[in-house]
Amino acid sequence: MSNKARVFISYTKRDGAVTNRLLQSLHDNLDEVSSPFIHALRPQTRPFQQFAVIKALLCSHFVLVVESPSVYRSPWVRLELLLAKLRLMPVLKISVDQIRLPLN
């Protein structure tokens, strides 16, 4: 098992600001120093996927919220932040505008 910090990435794609390409770029950058969990980039083959998401959150060291216009209106983001608060997990924030996309 890796000694890297486990980071749960919380986001919404509903407002269109967060895309899979943007999430992949974030993952690639974080992967150098941590073990990021981004649900949208995982294979969608398991039944009860939301349980796997909650488990990943509860096993993480901290949460990173990708702030986009609708992120705090997302019921899932709200649940994730509530669980993080109950676990006394640190919550960091990054604006969607601060995530750099690769040039290619």
- Domain membership of residue 14 (yes or no) is yes
The CATH number covering residue 92 comes to 3.40.50.450
**Alpha carbon distance 49, 47 (integer Å):** 5
For residue 19, being part of any structural domain is answered with yes
- The CA–CA distances, whole Å, from 49 to 1, 102, 104 equal 22, 29, 32
Q: Is residue 103 part of a domain?
A: no
Tens place of pLDDT for every residue, the chain, 104 residues?
A: 568 999 999 999 999 999 999 999 999 999 999 999 999 998 776 677 888 899 999 999 999 999 999 999 999 999 999 999 999 999 999 999 999 887 76
Domain range spanning residue 37? Answer: 5-98
Domain count along the chain: 1
Q: What is the pLDDT of residue 48?
A: 78
Residue 47, pLDDT score: 72
Is position 104 within any domain?
no
Backbone conformation region of residue 69, classed left if phi is above 0, alpha if psi is from -120 to 50, else beta: alpha
Q: Report the residue count for the chain.
A: 104
